[in-house]
Amino acid sequence: MHEEFSTFLATQGIDRISWQTKKDQGSEQVDQLLDQFSDLVWDAVLERAAYIENISANHMYLFKCLDQEIKLIAVEVANSAIDLREKDGFDWFKKHYNSDYVTYKRASKAYAGNKNSDKFELIEKGGVITKGALYDWFEDLLDSAEE
């Protein structure tokens, strides 16, 4: 990130010496510039985020972020003894994913406004950016069940 931050400062007309002076003086502009850079980094991360997962004890919310909408696969385990966040619970789930204890729902929703804001909101609620292996596996499973 050092190189990216240096480039960011250069676009603001700030060289290395000026930046060091601002930091040494405790300038308010330092905090403002760090916030701006942080926002740029988050925007870049969110722009590339294609999958977000939020897994709780008895639910998995798996999101696929497309250009115009977010798709959801919701998985619910109706067995209160199972915690999907734990290895034993997930191992149980792998054996019983097709049982009466497990239900699936699918939905999609257009972005409310700025898609990066919508993605960030999912992360604030406990979501994690992933490569989408779980979403893709469940999508294949549900698609083949519908055929």
pLDDT in tens, 85-119: 999 999 999 999 999 999 999 999 999 888 999 99
How far is it, in rounded angstroms, from Cα 126 to Cα 24? 37
pLDDT in tens, 27-44: 788 888 888 888 888 888
Q: Which residues contact 115 (CB under 8 A, 6 or more apart)?
A: 46, 65, 67, 70
- Is residue 106 a contact partner of residue 138, using CB atoms and an 8 Å limit? no
pTM, 2 dp:
0.81
Minimal CA–CA distance to 8: which of 35, 48, 47?
Answer: 35
What is the model's pLDDT at position 131? 97
